[in-house]
Amino acid sequence: MLGNFTYHNPTRLHFGKDAMQQLPQELARYGKNVLLVYGGGSIKKSGLYEQVRAMLDAAGKTVAEDAGVMPNPTLDKLREGAQRARDCNADLILSVGGGSCCDYSKAVSAAAWCEGEPWERFFLRHEEPTEKTIPVGCVLTMVGTGSEMNGGSVITNTATKQKIGKVFGPAMFSHFSILNPEFTYTLPKNQMVAGFFDIMSHILEQYFSGTDDNTSDYLMEGLLRSLIHSGRIAVKNPQDYEARSNIMWTATWALNTLVAKGKTTDWMVHMIGQAIGGTTDATHGMTLAAVSIPYYRHVMPHGLAKFRRYAVNVWDVNPDGKTDEQIANEGLERMAAWMREIGLVMDSRELGVTEENLPGIVKNTIMLPGGYKQLTAADVEAVIRASMA
């Protein structure tokens, strides 16, 4: 049954082909100084950079730029961004890019006026900022993280090979986010499908927990079915607006904290995937794809009823004449077939995992409760080895 909880999400979302028309009114809510955050220059190639700069200029803003945010933002980059935010006395951080840019911008917001070391405070001790923070707004160009409507921020410490997420409270959520599915059209296929699986993994991390009859599970089954259907269409035609808009909206609802309510949640696929990414700098969604099937096969006996339900309700497995284990396995087989169909990496060796770096990856995997089995280091090693087979 549902336990006690409080749900609050303060982010304003503007969705659709005309969503950018709402940016001027959003800019009017904040002071003069804006730190514009973006990645490697794709927004300049697409023309989005010029569009945003024109709106900033028309709004009379003084703009400083923080470019070059990488797919796995580093601690060194965070320190650089925090300094830039202080130097320009930013009243608003405007992130234009994918989830990594939005993740990074929240970390910059917290770190800019932080007393002490941000890595220690926020990513190791998971504290909330108590000093001044800077409002964040997001113009999204890639779907997957749900960062446009949550408090998530993931930073990689290249010195220690740790990739750690901090989930900030609602006060640190993006104040507003602009979601135009057309902005996602120009993504390369590998980035697009990696984002699709990041969405799926977010849902599954929350779905595969608990044994009660929970409303959230019904919502997640619908989100998964929509993602599977639209993902197939988008791979064949990346400019199918209906498919891309459904996927963008699914990504937001997959991780805006709603479906987690009343759930214990798991997150071990993410912990293993992030440990791999901290060592190899591999694409986040691909690290999740490589370990998901081995992980779910590993824990399936401990949550068999939910895996059976998943197979039937999400993958349309016919249960007649089959054991629960056969049904559950068939569901995972159909999931793996869909993953191969859309072009995901299914072998962690392709992402840089080796016998030599495996012990370090296991060591840097954070162990969390909440799933159907509390993992040990030996379990993590077994899952990663299975992902290398």
pLDDT at residue 41 above 90?
Answer: no
Residue type at 13 in one-letter notation: L
Under DSSP, the state recorded for 17 is T
Which pLDDT tens digit goes with each residue over 321-367?
Answer: 999 999 999 999 999 999 999 999 999 999 999 999 999 999 999 99
Tell me, yes or no, whether 210 and 172 share the same domain. Answer: no
- pLDDT, mean of residues 364-384: 97
Q: H helices of 14-161, where?
A: 23-27, 42-46, 48-58, 75-87, 99-111, 118
pLDDT bucket at 255, cuts 50 / 70 / 90: very high
**Long-range CB contacts (within 8 A, 24+) of 17-20:** 17/180, 17/181, 17/182, 17/241, 18/180, 19/178, 19/179, 19/180, 20/51, 20/55, 20/139, 20/178, 20/180
* Same domain (yes/no): 348, 281: yes
Residues 6+ positions from 321 with CB-CB distance below 8 Å: none
**Domain membership of residue 313 as a residue range:** 190-387
> So what's the pLDDT on residue 5?
85
Domain boundary at 154, 183, 212, which?
183
Q: What CA–CA distance (Å, rounded) separates 73 from 79? A: 11
Residue 381 belongs to some domain of the structure: yes
The reply to whether 242 and 345 lie within a common domain is yes
State the CATH number of the domain containing residue 355.
Answer: 1.20.1090.10
Query: Tens digits of per-residue pLDDT, 172-223?
Result: 999 999 999 999 999 999 999 999 999 999 999 999 999 999 999 999 999 9
Q: What mean pLDDT, rounded, does the chain reach? A: 97
pLDDT of residue 287: 98
Q: Give the DSSP letter string of 126-192.
A: -PPP-S----EEEEESS-SS-GGGS-EEEEEETTTTEEEEEE--GGGS-SEEEE-GGGGTTS-HHHH
pLDDT at 4: 85
Residues 365 and 218 in one domain: yes
pLDDT tens-digit map of 92-113: 999 999 999 999 999 999 999 9
Looking up residue 139, the CATH number of its domain turns out to be 3.40.50.1970
- The CB density around residue 136, as the number of other CB atoms within 10 Å, is 29
What are 105-143's pLDDT values in tens digits? 999 999 999 999 999 999 999 999 999 999 999 999 999
Report pLDDT for 389.
81
For the segment 41-61, the average pLDDT, to the nearest whole number, is 96
Of 143, 159, 183, which marks where a domain is finished? 183
Strands 136-140 and 176-179: parallel
Query: Does pLDDT of 1 surpass 70?
Result: no
Q: What is the CA radius of gyration of the chain?
A: 20
**What is the per-residue pLDDT for 357?**
98
Helix (H, G, I), strand (E, B) or coil at 13: strand
